[in-house]
Structures are given as structure tokens and as C-alpha cells.
Structure 1
Amino acid sequence: MPGPPARGRRQQSHAPDPEKGTTPRHHRTDEGLGRSRGGLTCKVHLAGEGGCRPLALLLTPGQWGDAPQMVNVLERIRVPRPNGGRPRTRPDRVSGDKAYSSRRNRRYLRRRHIKHTIPEPRDQRANRRRRGSKGGRPAGFDKEQYKRRNEVERTINRIKNFRAVATRYEKRAYVFHSTVTVASIRLWLRT
């Protein structure tokens, strides 16, 4: 039996659903895959320490942005203390590129007293200047600290040296998350 006429059908929207948050309707949370320019992909967001070793990671579909995931990644950091006690959850400093520059991220870092080195994009700088005294102070920026930002990219490259991470044959996100976690553990054991 044929379905309703084409005029009466609702079109599937691939845009985010405002009632359910930022997750598109066709997205399955258990797969962690999403469309981006290269096809179906997955993003690995991570926080790393100075020696190119990951501290916390998060998997999202490929089309999701980096800046909204920064708070989620930072909240996953748990570093055990050598003499016992509560694990350390607050890094001394956070470095990121211009994609992480947002009021929400800067507010979160200020509230937790975390120093940061995130450059302010040109359009945000112009908007702040246009607003005058209501625009706020310019964000501090340390060029010497910013030179170390590439350590995160090098950490991701080291994780992707593992064939299982680079190819991602797993369909389910939790299985791929465990694969990336095992690769991260191996990076910690090598040093």
C-alpha cells in the first residue's frame, strides 16, 4: 500500500533540533559518527599534558565543533595524587587555538582559576572594541606559552599511529572509545 502523498510528508531535518539540544534527529549516540566534509567521521577531543600524553578524551560525531566540547573534556580530567586523597581535577594552564575562544569557555576558566592562552579572533576583538567600555578588557595572551599548543596535535598524531585508531573499524562509539583509551595507556607506558 502506497504511503501518503509527497505534499503531506514531513521532510527529515538534518539541522539541530532546538527541543532536544544540539543533537540532530538522525544522529545515533551509540555510534559517534557524523557527516563532515570527508564523509562519516568521528572527532577525538582530548586534554594532554606537556609530554604528549593524554589526560582526558571525548568522542563526538565529525560535524560537532571543538569549542562546545572544551568544558566537557576539562571536567573529565582526574589525576591521582601520589600520597592519596582526592584526584587533581584542575590543570595549571590551558592552551588552545582560536576555535576555543568563546565567552562561555573563558568564563568557565576564570571561575575555576585556570590560566589560559587562547588567542582572540579578529572579529571578537573588533566587537569588543566597538562596544567600548561595555566590551570588557582584552584577553591576556602569552606568546611563549602559545608555542607549546602544538603538543595536543602531536598527541593526537601519536594516538593515530595505532592502526585500530586510524582506521576505526568499530561501529559503536563505546568500543572505539575503549580502543582510543588503550592507545592512550600505551602512550603512557612507553615513557
Structure 2
Amino acid sequence: MVRRHELSDAQWQRIESLLPANGRPGGQWADHRRVINGVLFRARTGVPWPDLPERYGSWQTVYERHRRWSADGTWRRILDELQIEADATDPDGALERSLDQQREWAVNIDSTSCRAHQHAAGARHCPPRDFPQRGAEPVWRAGREALGRSRGGLTSKVHLLADDRARPLAWQTSPGQRGDSPMFTAVLALLRIRRRGPGRPRTRPDRVRGDKAYSSHDNRAYLRRRGIKATIAQPEDQRANRRSRGQIGGRPPAFDRAQYRRRSAAERCVSKWKQFRAVATRYDKRDYVFNGTLTVAAIVIWLRDTVQEPSETT
């Protein structure tokens, strides 16, 4: 019987072949499905690891598997394969049609703050470790575990890219006080949708949508250099400054209101993500473990969107 927050049979069959082989020097893996269901239960409910129900086995085994797969990139590889498969079998899922019915790959950028629980603080300072990093290097000082002080207290911020079906594509964590605009290029640099078979990964979307926080000269120039259309709202102070300069201020940047309405996909993605309480509130001390929790939640979001459950028969 499949319980709440656990993988269905169809979802399990989809990822079973993507997991590490059940056999390693020195012993055997505990049952993958039971352990993964334990990780999902903790991510969804936010319970402390020792409070996991006994049906998932030893909580140390579940935690260690989650920590290990967060460090070696196993969770990330599973998510990559789901994105590759969705792009190869359902192009309209990854490349949504724009309002003028021309095929266009658009991504939506946004950020969200995750309040850090007191148990997330106090990690010992350690030198940078060689945990997998995709794309650009982190822009904050290593060893700080992406925790910082903001008006909300001790927080982490997640800067994310979402497609038009409100599914997370790439993200970067930072301390909670980090601004959105400085992270714009770093997050876009992480966007890599690999192809099934030969060919370079897809890294350049046709359009990027963002709110006023991402409106800056540097960000717009970066998109122009890469040939990417920008649908980014301009704040009133920037518009007033341009008008006050007269002809020197130049023309206002192009802005498509109909396209901008579709930016809400990023906010819907955040809403899906924060249904997992271990994402809405950060309990993990280490940044790489918290990123693993984010990836587990993203895997579930992609599975729910791409795996078709068999219809119930009466």
C-alpha cells in the first residue's frame, strides 16, 4: 500500500533504473525504495531524522543515504535525467508555445527566502570541499553555508529558474540578505538541459522573464550579448531617471505585458516547492545537504508532472 508522501508504483518504475546499482564493496545497499520514501517523508513533513516512522528502517541509514547522494550528485543526476526525458519525449513540455503561437523556450527567474531553523545554525567552519557545482562558482564566500541575516532573521535564499509549467530547472542558494539582481547571471549560467544523444546541452533560452528586482543595465546587456529576449519590468525610479535625462536617456526597454503575466510560473513553482516543509524551513546545517533536499522536492515535482498514473478500474 502506497502511503502519503511516498512514490507511487509508476513513479518508482520511472526512477528505479536511474539509481546506483544495489551492490558495493563491503556490503549491500538497504532497499532503495524504502529509504527514498523515508527521505520524501522527512522532506514533506520536516520531522527530525530520529523521528522517522519505523516503517522506513533505521533513521541513520535514511539520513546517511540522503547526505551521501547530496554530496556525490546522485539526486542531481536523477533530476537531470527526468528533464532530459521530458525534453526528448514531450517537447511542448520544455519548450512552451508563446502567445503568438511561435515555438519559444522561455524561463522565469525569481527568488524565495527560506527561514532557517535554529538547528540549521552552528555548523563548524570548514574549508571548501569538492562537492559538485554546476556552471558558475558560488558568488559568496565559501564556508558560510548559505546562511545570513535579513529582516526575517537567519535565512537562506533560493534563486531559481522555472519553466512555463512551474517546474524548477536550476537554482542557486545564497545567504538571506543577498540581493536578487547580482545573482542573475550566476543562476542563468547553471541552466543546462542535456540532449538525448549527441549535441551540446541547451543553455540559451529564447526569453527570460523577471520582476523589477532584476532590472539593471548589466543584466539587460548580458541578455543582449547572448541574444536572449528580456521581459523584465522596470521600476519607477529607473523610468523617472531615464525621462529626466531627455534624449540622452534613450528609449525605454521593450516590455510585453502579455508575456510578463506568464512570469507567475516561477511563483507557482515556489508554491509547489514550499509544500515541502523541509524546504519552507531550512533544517539542514550544511548547504550541500539543503541543496539535496531542494533536489528531492524538485524530483517529486517533475515526477508528478511527467508520470501518468494508471487509471483506477472499478
- Which range, TM-score by smaller chain? 0.7 to 0.9
Q: Does the alignment pair 1:56 with 2:56?
A: no
Question: For residues 50-75 of structure 1, what are the alpha-carbon distances to aligned partners after superposition, in whole Å with 9 as ceiling and x for unaligned?
Answer: 11111110001111111111111111
Q: Does the alignment pair 1:144 with 2:258?
A: yes
| Equivalent runs, 1:1-191 vs 2, <5 Å | 29-191=143-305
Match of 2:132 in 1: none
The one-letter code sitting in structure 1 at the alignment partner of 2:178 is W
Aligned partners of 2:268, 2:294: CA distance in 1, in Å?
Answer: 15
Aligned partners of 1:88, 1:114: CA distance in 2, in Å?
Answer: 13
The one-letter code sitting in structure 2 at the alignment partner of 1:135 is G
Match of 2:122 in 1: none
The one-letter code sitting in structure 1 at the alignment partner of 2:181 is A
Aligned partners of 1:150, 1:98: CA distance in 2, in Å?
Answer: 13
The alpha carbon displacement at 1:28 in A equals 6.4
The alpha carbon displacement at 1:160 in A equals 1.1
RMSD value over aligned CA atoms?
1.6
CA contact (8 A) 1:159 1:165 kept: yes
Structure 1 length normalisation: TM-score? 0.82
The one-letter code sitting in structure 2 at the alignment partner of 1:85 is G
Structure 2 length normalisation: TM-score? 0.51
The alpha carbon displacement at 1:128 in A equals 1.2
Bigger relative CO (Cα 8 Å, ≥ 6 apart)? 2
Could you tell me which runs of 5 or more consecutive residues in structure 1 were left unpaired when the two chains were aligned: 1-21
The alpha carbon displacement at 1:83 in A equals 4.2
Match of 1:17 in 2: none
The one-letter code sitting in structure 2 at the alignment partner of 1:72 is A
Aligned partners of 1:83, 1:142: CA distance in 2, in Å?
Answer: 36
Match of 2:74 in 1: none
The alpha carbon displacement at 1:84 in A equals 2.6
The alpha carbon displacement at 1:122 in A equals 1.1
Question: For residues 29-84 of structure 1, what are the alpha-carbon distances to aligned partners after superposition, in whole Å with 9 as ceiling and x for unaligned?
Answer: 44211111111001111001111111110001111111111111111000122343
Aligned partners of 1:114, 1:166: CA distance in 2, in Å?
Answer: 32
Query: Which secondary structure does the structure 2 equivalent of 1:51 belong to?
Result: coil
Question: For residues 104-133 of structure 1, what are the alpha-carbon distances to aligned partners after superposition, in whole Å with 9 as ceiling and x for unaligned?
Answer: 110101111111111111111111122223
CA contact (8 A) 1:42 1:59 kept: yes
Aligned partners of 1:67, 1:78: CA distance in 2, in Å?
Answer: 20
Aligned partners of 2:206, 2:298: CA distance in 1, in Å?
Answer: 21
Query: Which secondary structure does the structure 2 equivalent of 1:35 belong to?
Result: strand
Could you tell me which runs of 5 or more consecutive residues in structure 2 were left unpaired when the two chains were aligned: 1-138, 306-314
The one-letter code sitting in structure 2 at the alignment partner of 1:45 is H
Aligned partners of 1:93, 1:28: CA distance in 2, in Å?
Answer: 32
The one-letter code sitting in structure 2 at the alignment partner of 1:160 is K
